[in-house]
Structure 1
Amino acid sequence: MRRLGWLAAALILALLIPFFMGGADMFHRLRNFPVMLLIGMFVMVLVGWCMNTMRLRLLLGDAASGLGMRKSLAVVMATEFAYCATPGGSGAPLTLVALLSRSGIGPAKSTAAFATDQLMDLVFFLLALIGILIYAVFHQLSENLEWMLIASALLIGAGLCACAGFARYHRRIILFNGRVLKRLKRKNTTRIRWARKLLHFRDALAETWKMPHRILLQVFALTCVHWSLRYSVLYLALQGLGVNIDWAWTFLVQMLSLSAGQFSLSPGGAGAAELTSAALLAPMVGKSTAAAAILIWRIVTYYFYLVAGGPVFLLMVGRPLLNKLLRIKTV
């Protein structure tokens, strides 16, 4: 259980960062925060989960007929928990495949749905970054934020190019994968099995993208609603603390902070996201206000995901998969 202990310690330390940063003044600001606004933020998270549930069902198409709406929502909540509880969100696709396979949906189909979902996210963030770049032309932007913004746009563009490259050169990628496995002295059956997995994934992904444009546009619209709601939490937190700041800046702070968290490979970016957002927000709004806003933001969009999604995850897949995701060595 050592790894689980380290995970709990990392989450507690990340939660303590705003307390050390904000000091006693932060508690005064939190006491005056509107309760109804905080409840509204949690409602926004629930609406976001419903948007993701609808996205998943649209991407699965006829394969989702065996999934009820409540079960689909539970799948989304469990997958979000796995994303937040594992380094770099690596547990999300494994959880989604495991849960959908119990409803008779093959790994290729579920993985293709997950990949399409992630691709839609990349498109949304790229368009959002382009919008912020246009906005920044007419507003003053620090040099550091400018370079971070450009770097983020390049990374997202590289991700989209990688997806397009796989679609265009999948045969070469499969052959390259086979040569790598051969050099690693894997058996022929292993190489053939991986080649088949990649082909099944390619076929399922192509089938997903052959959906009517109306369906894909609906998926993208739901993507926009989901991320717009989730990325409005920090803005509303600052508004509740009496700070007037443009929504575009809070969007940029969240995106850069969560990107830093992903690169840190800590579960859900715990620690790195708080430190990065503090470094970006404190010069604009002050340490105590920034600390209070970060604490509210992370409780609503991260710790709530763990608290609400954890029981659903354990009920649906149980402790064995959790141990596998966290790579826990039981004594």
Structure 2
Amino acid sequence: MNRAAWMLAAGLILVIAIPLTLGGRGLGAQLRQFPLDTFLLMLGMIVVCWNLNAGRLRLLLAGRGGHLGQRRALGMVMATEFAISATPGGSGGPLTLMGLLSRQGVRPAQATAVFAVDQITDMLFFLSALASIGLYTLSHTIDLRLGWMLAVPALLLIIGFGLLIALGRHHRGLLRSSGHLLRWLKVHHRSRIRLTRAVIHFRHALVETLALPRLTLSLIFLLCCAHWLLRYSILYLAVSGLGRDIDWSWTFIVQMLSLAAGQLTLLPGGAGGAELSSTALLTPMIGASSAAAAVVIWRAVTFYFYLIAGAPVFFIMAGGSMLDLLLNRRAKVS
């Protein structure tokens, strides 16, 4: 097995092993008592999320690359989500989406612009959600520990938006500065020209995507909101299904912080970091065994299900060659 495969195997083990270790003897009983209909509802919510993202992808493409039906768009989304879950830091997701869009006839610059606008929409949702939860916290006097949990990610999102706006307004100066830097690094002239052209093509495609009708952009944002609200309700349903009371805003923040912490492990799906941080944040509110059980159920739905359902779709649409490329790209570069 190569290094990437070992990392995926380690991630699969840690997702279950850490909650089992932290949950204690009461974990098994908690899992056995979890309602089956609630678990099936959660899986159905993920399927709805995939379809919402498929609709968002179709709207973002706006006919570029020819007709894209809902079924094929759904396959692209499921394959991309599988790649995100199977590769360290989710690095395989963008590469998979770019490859599938290129097979659809979408130019690389257009595919990159679609992905960029998709990410910008996500950032806008999370910034709006954090602001809404902050106002809700102030009006309902929820635990003030939410303060720093809201402030840190909100500040990072604001900084990110500021950088994006600055890059958009000063792209010409950026190109000149990067050109000087590449020349200083002794990058070949033709390579510098190709890179500059790629950046210019990307900017044009980005402007074209952002120039979609306001109604279309509004619908894209609404689909984005619906997707994340459903996705970030999974942990709340897991806790509620165990018979524990918790505020939805708490579970939203727990998932944001835990998934961010998981990226630091550099394991597929953020394995290890996501389980440790989410269990630690939930334990003071619902107890160790309930917290561990909720995390097991949450990760089963948002990690294992993504791998199990997405793997066959990935191999049908992308093929084993693309998976080999994702898992071995470092070796090929060297």
TM over 0.5: yes
- 1:304-315 maps to which residues of 2 (within 5 A)? 304-315=305-316
* Aligned partner letter, 1:2: N
* Aligned partner letter, 2:141: H
Structure 1 residue 142: Cα displacement: 4.7
2:167, 2:106 → 1: CA distance?
A: 23
Structure 1 residue 64: Cα displacement: 5.1
Contact kept? 1:17, 1:271, Cα under 8 Å: yes
Instruction: After superposing the two structures, state which structure 1 stretch, 253-262 or 282-291, moved more.
Output: 253-262
**Could you tell me the TM-score, scaled by structure 1's length?**
0.95
Structure 1 residue 290: Cα displacement: 0.2
Contact kept? 1:57, 1:64, Cα under 8 Å: no
Structure 1 residue 318: Cα displacement: 1.9
2:84 aligns with: 83
2:7, 2:209 → 1: CA distance?
A: 39
- 1:61-210 maps to which residues of 2 (within 5 A)? 61-63=62-64, 65-137=66-138, 138-143=140-145, 145-210=146-211
Contact kept? 1:21, 1:291, Cα under 8 Å: yes
Structure 1 residue 180: Cα displacement: 2.9
1:8 aligns with: 9
1:181-235 deviation line (CA, Å, top 9, x unaligned): 2233221111111111111110011001111100000000000000000000000
Counterpart of 1:269 in 2: which secondary structure?
A: coil
Instruction: After superposing the two structures, state which structure 1 stretch, 11-20 or 293-302, moved more.
Output: 11-20
2:251, 2:220 → 1: CA distance?
A: 25
2:325, 2:298 → 1: CA distance?
A: 29
1:83-109 deviation line (CA, Å, top 9, x unaligned): 122222222111111111111111111
Structure 1 residue 10: Cα displacement: 2.7
2:221 aligns with: 220
Percent sequence identity over aligned pairs = 51
1:197, 1:71 → 2: CA distance?
A: 28
* Aligned partner letter, 2:152: A
2:57 aligns with: 56
1:180, 1:168 → 2: CA distance?
A: 20
Counterpart of 2:271 in 1: which secondary structure?
A: coil
1:46, 1:115 → 2: CA distance?
A: 23
1:105-125 deviation line (CA, Å, top 9, x unaligned): 111111111110110000000
2:175, 2:9 → 1: CA distance?
A: 39
Structure 1 residue 76: Cα displacement: 0.7
Instruction: After superposing the two structures, state which structure 1 stretch, 298-307 or 48-57, moved more.
Output: 298-307
1:6, 1:139 → 2: CA distance?
A: 43
Structure 1 residue 302: Cα displacement: 1.3
1:226-259 deviation line (CA, Å, top 9, x unaligned): 0000000000111100011111111111111111
Structure 1 residue 163: Cα displacement: 1.8
Alignment root-mean-square deviation, CA:
1.6
2:124, 2:245 → 1: CA distance?
A: 29
Structure 1 residue 175: Cα displacement: 2.1
* Aligned partner letter, 1:139: T
Task: Say if 1:263 and 1:164 are closer, same or farther in 2 by CA, change over 3 A.
Answer: farther
2:177, 2:83 → 1: CA distance?
A: 30
2:17, 2:7 → 1: CA distance?
A: 15
* Aligned partner letter, 2:207: A
Contact kept? 1:53, 1:72, Cα under 8 Å: yes
* Aligned partner letter, 2:315: L
Structure 1 stretches of 5 or more lacking a match? none
Task: Say if 1:41 and 1:64 are closer, same or farther in 2 by CA, change over 3 A.
Answer: farther
Count residues with an aligned counterpart: 329
2:260 aligns with: 259
1:15, 1:166 → 2: CA distance?
A: 42
1:294 aligns with: 295
2:12, 2:177 → 1: CA distance?
A: 39
- 1:237-276 maps to which residues of 2 (within 5 A)? 237-276=238-277
Whether 2:254 is the aligned partner of 1:236: answer no
* Aligned partner letter, 1:103: Q
* Aligned partner letter, 2:68: L
Structure 1 residue 43: Cα displacement: 0.3
1:31 aligns with: 32
Structure 2 stretches of 5 or more lacking a match? none
**Could you tell me the TM-score, scaled by structure 2's length?**
0.94
Contact kept? 2:83, 2:92, Cα under 8 Å: yes
1:48-76 deviation line (CA, Å, top 9, x unaligned): 00000000000000115332321111111
2:278 aligns with: 277
Structure 1 residue 309: Cα displacement: 1.0
